[in-house]
Structure 1
Amino acid sequence: MNALVDFARALDFAAHKHTDQRRKGVRAEPYVNHLAEVARLVAEATEGKDRVAILAALLHDTLEDTDATREELERAFGAEVAAVVAEVTDDKRLSKAERKQRQIDGAATKSHAAKLVKLADKTSNLRSMAASPPANWTQARKREYFDWAKAVVDRIRGTHAGLEAAFDAAYDAGIAGLQGV
């Protein structure tokens, strides 16, 4: 199928699945903004050539945060895309601390496409945290989030220099902002 049609279908699917979701920050941006940024980062990094990674980037939170199923993703976008989405999906049955540690511990064993999605996701999250942090988060909690994201990314260094540089810039800007408050 045509890559642009696939992209439009995945964007439509993700937008409908995340319809009522907003970012946690004070601006409460529509969640689809995050999905679009993650997909754009992956598309730019791969020069639009990694269809699976780009579609997975758009869909990366559907299994974790919506009623979407892996089977539904497989039917709509193929087994490869569904597998990458599953790779980056946290097991919500675990505690938040366990999920965070599993992201660190398992990062290096992910597929290349999943690593690209993870790099873009962490970059987008840090940018969002710096621009519009949750109102009730202390400076210490924000710092912990930045450091945890860095711990995940440090496990997948060597995946893509451009995405890693974008992450590092977001991390450095965010940390500087925290210190400047």
Structure 2
Amino acid sequence: MWLQETYLRAYHFAAHAHQGQIYPGTQIAYIMHLSFVSMEVIAALHAEPHHDGELAVQCALLHDVIEDTPVGYAEIAANFGAAVSDGVLALTKDATLPANQQMADSLRRIQTQPHAVWLVKLADRISNLQAPPAHWTPEKVLRYRDEAEMIYTALATASPFLAQRLRAKIDAYGQVA
């Protein structure tokens, strides 16, 4: 179960935090990506209502705030509580690590969180597996698909609904490469 008021509060917070940002490779406001991820999470919650919907929806909308804006953990905790800020932190790549270690590290941290947080990472990658940007090399496209496989392997058990959607996206993405 999740409440519309909770969604709107997190959406407004995220919209202000990401104000002026655009989704890479597009002219679309970044908040659209957060809307797409939260839509995937909401669809999963409809199919699998046993998850903590409040946690999942808030983390979906806030998942990139620490990574991509000046807003930090403490501000998220003050506004949304420890469970949400811990989830968002787990979903945030550690920029102090080499790039090739960041996803594995994040997945390890996500796996210590409730499954509601796992849903967000699955939904995020579903949302991101659109046609790759034209400037990406074939090697980068393959690395991105391989990273999606890593996410699938690590987190698929949390949500059969999202696992099936991610599997289909990965398979289609493989045909692009």
Provide the TM-score with structure 1 as the length reference: 0.86
| Residue 4 (structure 2) pairs with residue 4 (structure 1) | yes
Gaps of 5+ in 1: none
| Residue 89 (structure 2) pairs with residue 86 (structure 1) | yes
**In 2: Cα distance, 1:36 partner to 1:55 partner:** 11
**Aligned partners of 2:60 and 2:120 also within 8 Å:** yes
| Residue 123 (structure 2) pairs with residue 99 (structure 1) | no
For each residue in 1:71-98, what CA deviation from the matched residue of structure 2 results, as whole angstroms up to 9, or x when unmatched? 2112211221111111111111222122
Give the 3 Å change call, closer, same or farther, for CA 101–52 of structure 1 in structure 2: closer
**In 2: Cα distance, 1:16 partner to 1:77 partner:** 15
**Aligned partners of 1:103 and 1:152 also within 8 Å:** no
Give 3-state SS (helix, strand or coil) of 1:157's partner. Answer: helix
**Aligned partners of 2:152 and 2:167 also within 8 Å:** no
Report deviation, 1:22: 1.7
* Aligned residue in 2 for 1:76: 79
**In 2: Cα distance, 1:66 partner to 1:155 partner:** 27
Structure 1 residue identity aligned to 2:59: A
Structure 2 residue identity aligned to 1:13: F
Report deviation, 1:66: 0.5
| Residue 121 (structure 2) pairs with residue 122 (structure 1) | no
Deviates more, 1:97-106 or 1:44-53: 97-106
| Aligned-pair identity (%) | 34
Report deviation, 1:107: 4.9
Give the 3 Å change call, closer, same or farther, for CA 104–73 of structure 1 in structure 2: closer
| Residue 61 (structure 2) pairs with residue 58 (structure 1) | yes
* Aligned residue in 2 for 1:20: 20
* Aligned residue in 1 for 2:164: 165
Structure 2 residue identity aligned to 1:5: E
What RMSD in Å do the two structures reach over aligned CA positions? 1.9
Report deviation, 1:155: 1.2
Give the 3 Å change call, closer, same or farther, for CA 87–107 of structure 1 in structure 2: closer
Gaps of 5+ in 2: none
For each residue in 1:116-153, what CA deviation from the matched residue of structure 2 results, as whole angstroms up to 9, or x when unmatched? 111111111113xx2xx333211221111011121122
Q: Structure 1 residue runs of 4+, over 2 Å off? A: 103-111
**In 1: Cα distance, 2:10 partner to 2:110 partner:** 24
Report deviation, 1:105: 4.8
**Aligned partners of 2:92 and 2:106 also within 8 Å:** no
For each residue in 1:29-59, what CA deviation from the matched residue of structure 2 results, as whole angstroms up to 9, or x when unmatched? 2211111111111111112761111111000
